Structure 1
Amino acid sequence: MAHEVLHPCIFLDLFVQVRQTSRTKFCFLFFLVSFGINRASFTNTSDDQLLYLGFTGANLITDDTTVVTSNGLLELTNGTVNRKGHAFYPSPLHFRKSHNYKVHSFSVSFVFAIRSSYPRMSLHGLAFVVSPSTNFSNALANQYLGFLNSQNKGKASNYILAIEFDTVLNIEFEDIDNNHVGIDINDLHSVKSHSAGYYDDRNSSFQNMSLISGDPMQAWVDYNGEDKKISVTMAPIKMAKPTRPLISMSYDLSTVLKEPSYIGFSASTGAADSRHYILGWSFGMNNLAPMININKLPKLPYQGSNPRSKLLAITLPIASATFVILLCSVFIIIVRRRLRYAELKEDWEVEFGPHRFSYKDLFHATHGFDNKHLLGAGGFGKVYKGVLPSSKLEVAVKRVSHESRQGMKEFVAEVVSIGRIRHRNIVQLLGYCRRKGELLLVYDYMKNGSLDIYLYNDELKPTLSWDQRFRIIKGIASGLFYLHDKWEKVVIHRDIKASNVLLDTEMNGRLGDFGLARLYDHGTDLQTTHVVGTMGYLAPELVCTGKASPLTDVFAFGAFLLEVTCGQRPVKHSSQDNPGVLVDWVLEHWQKGLLTNTVDARLQGDYNIDEACSVLKLGLLCSHPFTNMRPNMQQVMQYLDGDVPLPELTHMDMSFNIVSLMQDEGFNPYTLSYPPSGTSIGTISNISGGR
C-alpha cells in the first residue's frame, strides 16, 4: 500500500518519466504544477523516489532544536550547547517485500553543512539514520549524536543504520580522528570509517575535506541489495559524484533493518556551539536517488564580516585620502592609550591549537570578574564562573598574573599540554586570552566543583558514596593512562591531588590544572626540573633529583587513592615538626590486619569491602619509595578493572622519610607546596593478603 504526503516544496522526479496517456491524468498533473504543489509517493515498487530542494512547508517529523528557517534550510541544531535535533520523513518505508525478504537496494543523497562560532572547533557531528522509530527522547547529545545513549549503544535490538559525519575524536568509541565519516550498525563504534574527503577521478589521489569548514558539501549513501554492499561517497558541492567511494564494505542489512523503518537525520552539540544544516535531500528505493540541482538550494547564512560598500571603497581614497590617514593615525594613538580591552599576542601562540577569546567577551562573561562569581583561588590566580555572551556557554575563567613567580611558565604549560587534548576524564581547555599583565585560560565549567570539597567539607556537601568514589578513581586513572601512553606526547601532570580533580554534572572525575605539567616525546626522558608540587604527593626520587617521570605521577596517584578512600589529607598538620602521614597510618593498620578501619567513617560501612581494600593496597603499592616496584598506569587500570590481580609484595623493609631527605638536600619542605604542607613516606613492608 502506498503512503502519500503532499509537500508544497518537494519536487518529485517520479512523474517526470511516467508517460501520461490519459487526458484526465495530464490535466491533474498540470493542476498540481500550476499551484506549486508537489507530491512525494512511496510504494513497494521500484519507482520510489523523493527530492527535497529546500524544506519550506515540508511535512517532516522534527523535535528538540530542529527547525526550518525562513529561507528553507533544515537546521538540525541551533547553536545551543549539549543539545540534539532530529528530522525524519513522516511515513515509514518498506525496505523489503516482507519480513523474510532481503532488503531492497536504495540510494540517498544530501547536501549538508556544519558551522560553529569557533572556526577550529565544532562539537559534535550529524548522521543519516535508518531507524524503526522516530522517538529519540532517551538518546543523548555530545558523542552519542542524538540517536543512542550509554545504555543501548551496541545492542542488536536497536535495528539502526547510521552514516556519521563526526567532528570529534572520541576515545570511548575508538574514532580514527576528529574529521571522519563512519558506518555505524546499532552502535557508535563504526564498523568502518575514513577521514573525510574524496578520491579524485583524474588521478585517484585522496583529497581531504574539513567537515567544520562551514561550506556546503554533498554525500551519497548507496546499498546494493544483490551484492549486500554499502558505499559512502562525499565531495564538494559543485563536483560530480566521484567514481570511487570513500567507504565501501559488504554487510547484509537484512540482518539489521526492521520492517518498516524511517529515514532521516540526527545531530548533536557538545560544549561548543554548533549548527548543523541540511540544504537538500533525495532518496530512491530500487533506483538511484534523484540528482540534486544545487542552483535551487537555499543559501546558508552569511559567514564573516559584511562586505564593504563599493561606493565607499572608491570615493573615500580619492576624496579624502590624506585627511583619513592623519585622522586614523591620531585616533590609533589615542585608542592605544585608552583601550580598555587591550591584549597581547606573540608569534609563538600561532602554533597552539586552542581558540583565542577576546578580553572583552571574558570581561562581560564574568561581570567584570566580580567576586560574586569567584569559584576559587590558588597560588597562581583566581578562577571565575562566566557565561559567554554569544553562545551562552558556561565556562570557568582562570586569571594568572604575569608577575607571579611561575605565571608565564604555568600559562605556556597549560596551553601546550592540554590545548589539543580531548578525553572524557580531562577538563577541556576551550581557549585563552592575554592582556597586559594578565593571562586568562577558559575551561569547561564543572558545575559540581572540586573533589576535595566533598571529601573535607561536611557542612556544604553530602558525603560521596563508595560507588561515586570508585568511579572517580577509575576515571582519573583512565585520564592519566591517556596522558602517559596514548596521547601524541608524554604528559606528566606533576600535581595530582583531590583539589585538582573536578566533578562534572554526572559526578564523573576530570583531571584539571595543568599549570605544572611537562611534556616530551615518547621514547625520551624529561630533563631535570625544579622540585614542584604539593607535599604529601611528592615522590622520593623527585625530591632527591628533581627529575619528574610518569612514575612520579603514579606516586602522587597512590596518595590520591588513599586520600579518596580514607577521606583524609595525605599530611595532617598536627605539628610542623612531626606531621601525621596518611600512608604510614594506613600501613600500620594493614600490618595489624585492620585495613578496613582506615576507610572513611562517613560511609558508615556502606561500601564494597573488596573494592575498598584493593584500592588501599594499590595506593600503598603506587606510593612505594622504589620506582621499580610501582606499577605504570596501564597496570593500574588493569588492577582497578579486575583484569589482573594485585601482586603480593612481601619481606620489604623500606623506611623512607621525605621531610628528612629534603632538609638534607637544603630544601624547606614547608615552602614547596601551595598551600604549604609537610609530608613523609612511611615504612612499607609485608604488603600481601589480608584486610
Structure 2
Amino acid sequence: MEHAVFLFLVWLNTAAITTLCAGGGQTRFSYSGFAGANLTVDGNATVTPDGLLVLTSSKTNLQGHAFYHTPLQLSTSPGGKVASFAAAFVFAIVSDYTDFSAHGMAFVVAPNKGFPGALPAGYLALLNVQNNGNASNHLLAVELDTTQNTDFKDINANHVGIDINDLHSVQSSPAGYYDGGGVLRNLTLFSREAMQVWVEYDGDAGRIDVTLAPIRVGNNKPARPLVSAICNLSTVLKEQSYVGFSSATGGINSRHYVLGWSFAMNGPAPAIDIARLPKLPPFGPKPRSKVLAIVLPIATAAAIVAVGSLATLLVLRKLRYAEVLEEWELEFGPHRFSFKDLYHATSGFKSKHLLGAGGFGQVYKGVLGSSKSVCTEVAVKRISHESRQGMKEFIAEVVSIGRLRHRNLAQLLGYCRRKGELLLVYEYMPNGSLDKYLYYREEENKPVLDWAQRFHIIKGVASALLYIHDKWEKVVIHRDVKASNVLLDSEMNGRLGDFGLARLYDHGTDPQTTHIVGTMGYLAPELIRTGRASKLTDVFAFGAFLLEITCGRRPVSIDDDAAQEMLVDWVLEHLREEGSLAHTVDVSLRGQYDVDEVFLVLKLGLLCSHPYTNIRPDMQQVMQYLDGSTPLPDLQPTDMTFSAMALMQNEGFDSYAMSIQSSAGTGSMATAVSAGSIGTISFISGGR
C-alpha cells in the first residue's frame, strides 16, 4: 500500500507521461511543463527550474533547438507510408517592442536533431542559403513567423505557415482562429500571451491541418483549422524522424517559450493540463510593494518640505538640458529613445566609442540595456538641427522607415531629439562599413575582400534597393547609396544603412524633393538640373557603387595635376580599348576572380551610371542581370560615347560645387564639402 502511494506521488510530480508501444511504432507523451523532461536541447535553448522551455532569450541573432530524445518510427520502410500523427503545444513570444518582433519559431519533424550550418533570423535556425528547398532535407516545419521576409514571399509579419523542405511555405495564413460561428478572429503571435497550436497529419488522406487558438479556450480546439495543405509526407519524411522545436532571433530582442507539449501516433494528441503549465516570467516594470505605497507618500512629503529650495534649483538645471518633446511626438511611442538612455549607452558620447564622422554628424557605438545579460548593441548618429521647419514630417518618415524589414538593410530603430540636435538610432553592424575594406585596410587592419565576398555584397545591396523601391508598402528613395553607407554584419553580409537622407512617397506618385543631397560621384546629372530624386537617381548611385567595389577606386579621384577624374570615364576608356577592361579590376584581388562576373558587374555599372535616365535599368532588371536570369544587353563602346565629367560640367555641376564650397566655411552643419564629396542636410533645418 505504501509503495503504491509513493508511486502515485511520483506520477503527480512528473512533467511528462510517455508510452512507447514497441510493436506498433506508436508513441504518446504529454508535458505540462518540462522540469525533469528528457529533452535534447542546443544553442540558446534551456529549461528553467520551474519547467519553462526557453528556446531563445532576449538577445539578437540567436538560435535554439529542443527535441524529444528518441526518434519516432513514422513508417516501416524507406519510402513507406507515413503513419498519422498529431501534436499540440502551448507557446508564447515576448518581444522588447509591442508592435514588432523577430524572427519566430517552428514545430519541426526532421531526420536528425542537429542543423549544422543553419542560419538564425529568417532561416529560423533550420536551413541556410545553400540547402533551402533541397529535397534531401526531409523536413516538415510549422512556422510561427513574426517577420515578413520577401526572400520567402511571406504574406505578412504575423503568420502561420506549413513548410516542406523549404522556408517558402506551401500554405500560410495570417495568425488567428475560427470561432464557433466560423468567423476568423485575429491573433498577434508576439502578444506576450500564451497560445495553443494543434498540428495533425492524416496519413490516409495526406493532409496537414494546423489550428491556433488563445489559451483561454483551453483544450477546446476550434472545429475549423487555420491553415491546411495536401501533401503526402511519405515522399518527404524519413522512416525514423525526430520531433521538436526550433527558434531564431534577428536584430531584435525576442524571447520564444514553450510551456507544454503533447504528441501521439495514430490518434489525437493528449490534452495538455493547462492548470499545471509553468508561468511566463514577468515583463515590464516590477509592481510596487504595498509597504512602499504607504511609506513613499509620507517620505516624499517630508523630503519636499526639507529640500524644497534645493529641488527647485535641480529641476531648473535639469530643464536646461532637457530633450525636445512636442505633443505630436507622443504618437510615435517606442520609436522615441530617451537622451538619458543614449547618453549612458555611449558612455557620454566619448571619443573611444566614435565609429565615424562626416558632414552629416558623428556616429557612436552604444549598448542599450539594464544589465550585461540583456543588452542591445546600437549605432547612434548625432545630427545638428537648428529649425523646426519640416521636423514633424521628417520624424514621421524616420518612424515609417523604421518599419522596413529586409536582411540586407541595417535597421533604423528610432530617434531622439534634444536641444539643437537630432539622434538617429540604428542596428549595430560589427564589421563596420565597406569603404574601410576598400580604402583603409592597413590603418584599420582589415583583410582583403575576395571577389566572392564582393559579389555577394553587391547582390545583397541590389536586393535591398529593389525592396525599398518596389516591394514595400511605400517607395523609399535612399538618396545616398555609396560604399561608406554599406555596412557588414557578423557574417559579412552587405546591409544598406544610413537612411537619414531617405525620402518616401506612395506608389504611383511623383517625389517632391527639391533639395540636392548626396555625395559627389554618386549624383545623377538630372539632380543638378531638377533637384528631384527618383528611383533612377538611386540606380545611378548604385552604378557608381558597382564600379567602386570592383575597381577599388573612388567614383571621383584627383590626379597629380589636381584635375578631377570620374571613375565611370576611366572604366569607359578601358572598355573602348579591346582587351583592356581587365586592367580596371582592383589590383588587391591579384587576378583571383571570376572573369565573367567581374565583366558583368563593370558593364552593369556603366549601364546604371548612364547620364540618360531612359538607358538605365530599374532594380528589378538589375537583379535579373546579376542572377543570370536575363542576359545583359550587349554593351558596345560606341553606345557609351559620353563623358560623365563633361556632362556634369554642362549641367552646371562645377559652379554648384563651388558655390557650396564657398559657404562651407561658415561653420554650418547644414552643408558639408570635403575632398570629393558634396552633401547637404538642409531638409533638417529648412524643409525637404
TM-score, structure 2 normalization? 0.87
> How far apart, CA to CA, are the structure 2 residues paired with 1:122 and 1:586?
45
In structure 1, C-alpha distance between the alignment counterparts of 2:43 and 2:642, rounded to whole Å? 61
Q: Distance in 2 between matches of 1:159 and 1:49?
A: 22
Which residue in 2 is equivalent to 1:254? Answer: 234
Cα 1:330–1:241 change in 2 (3 A) is farther
Cα distance change of structure 1 residues 549 and 34 upon mapping to structure 2, 3 Å threshold = closer
Of 36-45 and 284-293, the range deviating more from structure 2: 36-45
1:54 to 8, 25, 33: 33
Aligned-pair CA distance for 1:147: 2.5
The structure carrying a bigger helix percent of its residues is 2
Distance 2:677 2:121 in 1: 42
- 1:394 Cα shift? 2.1
Question: CA 1:321–1:157 in 2, change beyond 3 Å: closer, same or farther?
Answer: closer
Residue from 646, 651, 659 that aligns with 2:649: 659
Q: 1:600 to 1:46 in 2, by over 3 A?
A: closer
Aligned: 1:107 with 2:82: no
- 1:86 to 1:170, Cα distance in 2 relative to 1, 3 A: same
Query: C-alpha displacement at 1:610, in angstroms?
Result: 2.3
Q: Contact (CA 8 Å) 2:111, 2:238: kept in 1 or not?
A: yes
Q: Which of 457, 476, 484 lines up with 2:469 in the alignment?
A: 484
CA positional deviation for 1:121:
3.2
Query: What's the secondary structure of 1:619's corresponding residue?
Result: helix
Report the equivalent of 1:439: 422
CA distance in 1, matches of 2:194, 2:501: 43
1:343 matched residue in structure 2: 323
Equivalent residue for 1:510? 495
Checking the alignment, whether the CA contact within 8 Å between 2:25 and 2:72 is kept in structure 1 is no
**Aligned residues, how many?**
653
User: Which residue does the alignment assign to 2:20?
Assistant: 42
Q: Give the counterpart of 1:223 among 193, 196, 201.
A: 201
Matched, 1:560 2:545: yes
Would you say 1:33 and 2:8 are equivalent positions? yes
Corresponding residue for 2:684?
none
Deviations 1:23-42 (A, max 9, x none): xxx99865521333655112
Q: Alpha-carbon deviations, 1:584-606, whole Å to 9, x = none?
A: 22222222222222222222222
Structure 1 alignment gaps of length 5 or more = 1-25, 681-691
Contact 2:474 2:507 in 1 (8 A): yes
Q: By how many angstroms is 1:575 displaced?
A: 7.8
Structure 2 equivalent of residue 412 of structure 1: 395
* Change in CA separation of 1:576 and 1:411 when aligned onto 2, cut-off 3 Å: farther
Q: Distance in 1 between matches of 2:3 and 2:345?
A: 60
- How far apart, in 2, do the equivalents of 1:330 and 1:514 lie? 46
Conserved 8 A contact 1:118-1:355: no
Aligned equivalent of 1:467, options 452, 456, 459: 452
CA distance in 2, matches of 1:585, 1:142: 41
Superposition RMSD in Å: 3.2
Residue of 110, 115, 118 corresponding to 1:131: 110
Distance in 2 of aligned mates of 1:70 and 1:411: 48
Match of 1:141 among 120, 123, 138: 120
Corresponding letter in the other structure for 2:582: T
Q: How does 1:490-529 map to 2 (within 5 A)?
A: 490-529=475-514
> Alpha carbons of 1:27 and 1:48: their partners in 2 closer, same or farther (altered >3 Å)?
farther
In the aligned structure 2, how far is the partner of 1:196 from the partner of 1:329? 54
C-alpha separation in 2, matches of 1:329 and 1:525? 58
> What amino acid is the match of 2:176?
G
Q: Which amino acid aligns with 2:488?
A: L
Q: Distance in 1 between matches of 2:552 and 2:290?
A: 69
- Other-structure match for 1:597: 583
**Does the CA contact (< 8 Å) of 2:155 and 2:174 recur in 1?**
yes
SS in 1 for 2:572: helix
Q: 1:430 aligns with which of 409, 413, 416?
A: 413
Cα offsets for 1:277-321 (capped at 9, x unmatched): 11111112212112222122111112233334457668988x899
- The one-letter code of the counterpart of 1:50 is F
Larger Rg: 1
The DSSP-based 3-state class of the residue aligned with 2:499 is coil
Name the residue aligned to 1:15.
Answer: none
For the residue of structure 2 that corresponds to 1:459, the secondary structure is: helix
Checking the alignment, whether the CA contact within 8 Å between 1:670 and 1:678 is kept in structure 2 is no
What's the secondary structure of 1:157's corresponding residue?
helix
Q: Is the 8 A contact 1:96 1:259 kept in 2?
A: yes
3-state secondary structure, aligned to 1:588: helix
SS at match of 2:325: coil
Amino acid at match of 1:631: P
1:25-424 map, 5 Å: 31-36=6-11, 39-43=17-21, 44-45=23-24, 48-99=27-78, 101-202=80-181, 204-239=182-217, 240-309=220-289, 336-339=315-318, 342-350=322-330, 352=332, 355-390=335-370, 391-403=374-386, 412=395, 415-416=398-399, 418-424=401-407
> In the superposition, relative to structure 1, how do residues 405 and 293 fare at CA in structure 2: closer, same or farther (>3 Å)?
closer
Which segment drifts farther, 233-242 or 348-357?
Answer: 348-357
**C-alpha deviation, 1:404, in angstroms:** 8.7
The one-character-per-residue Cα deviations of 1:32-62 (angstroms, maximum 9, x if unpaired) are 2133365511225497432211111112112
Question: What one-letter code is carried by the residue in structure 2 that aligns with 1:431?
Answer: G
**Partner Cα separation in structure 2 for residue 658 and residue 495 of structure 1:** 18
Per-residue CA deviation, residues 415-436 of structure 1 (Å, 9 max, x unaligned), is 1453111112211112332333
C-alpha separation between the residues in 1 aligned to 2:6 and 2:334?
57
Query: CA shift at 1:182, angstroms?
Result: 0.8
Deviation larger for 382-391 or 664-673? 664-673
Task: Give the Cα separation in 2 of the matches to 1:316 and 1:471.
Answer: 59
* Equivalent residues of 1:380, 1:404 under 8 A apart: no
CA deviation after TM superposition for structure 1 residue 507, in Å = 2.1
Q: Given the superposition, is the C-alpha separation of residues 577 and 291 from structure 1 closer, same or farther in structure 2, using an over 3 Å criterion?
A: same
3-state DSSP of counterpart to 1:627: coil
Which of 535, 550, 559 aligns to 2:520? It is 535
SS at match of 2:89: strand
Provide the residue aligned with 1:11 in structure 2.
Answer: none
Worse-superposed segment, 134-143 or 612-621: 134-143
> Percent identity of the aligned residues?
60
Cα distance change on mapping 1:670 and 1:116 into 2, 3 Å: same
- 1:659 is aligned with what amino acid? Q
Quote how far apart the aligned CAs of 1:526 are: 1.0
**In 2, Cα distance between the equivalents of 1:27 and 1:290?**
29
Alpha-carbon distance between aligned partners in 1 of 2:108 and 2:416, rounded to the nearest angstrom: 40
Given that 1:115 and 1:274 are in contact with CA atoms closer than 8 Å, whether structure 2 keeps it comes out as yes
Q: Within 1, Cα distance between the matches of 2:330 and 2:295? A: 36
CA contact (8 A) 1:107 1:288 kept: yes
Q: Report what 1:583 is aligned to.
A: 568
**Are the structure 2 counterparts of residues 541 and 113 from structure 1 closer, same or farther at C-alpha, using a change threshold of 3 Å?**
same
CA-to-partner distance for each residue in 1:640-683, whole Å, 9 max, x for gaps? Answer: 22222222354565454313432697663663974435699xxx
- Whichever residue aligns with residue 345 of structure 1, its letter is L
The one-letter amino acid of 2:605's match is G
Structure 1 distance, partners of 2:660, 2:275, is: 72
Instruction: Give TM-score, length-normalised by structure 1.
Output: 0.87
1: CA distance, partners of 2:211 / 2:311? 51
The residue aligned with 1:634 is 620
Provide the secondary structure at the position in 2 that maps to 1:657. helix
Which whole-Å CA distance do the structure 2 matches of 1:676 and 1:431 have between them? 28
Opposite residue 228 of structure 2, the aligned amino acid is: S
Paired residues of 1:528 and 1:547 also in contact (CA < 8 A) = yes
Distance apart, 1:376 and its partner CA: 0.2
CA displacement at 1:360 relative to structure 2: 2.8
User: 1:94·1:260 contact (CA, 8 Å) conserved in 2?
Assistant: yes
Q: CA 1:52–1:90 in structure 2 vs 1: closer, same or farther (change >3 Å)?
A: same
- Residues 146 and 158 in structure 2, CA contact (< 8 A), matched pair in contact too: yes
Query: Which residue identity is paired with 2:490?
Result: T
Q: 1:334 to 1:528 in 2, by over 3 A?
A: same
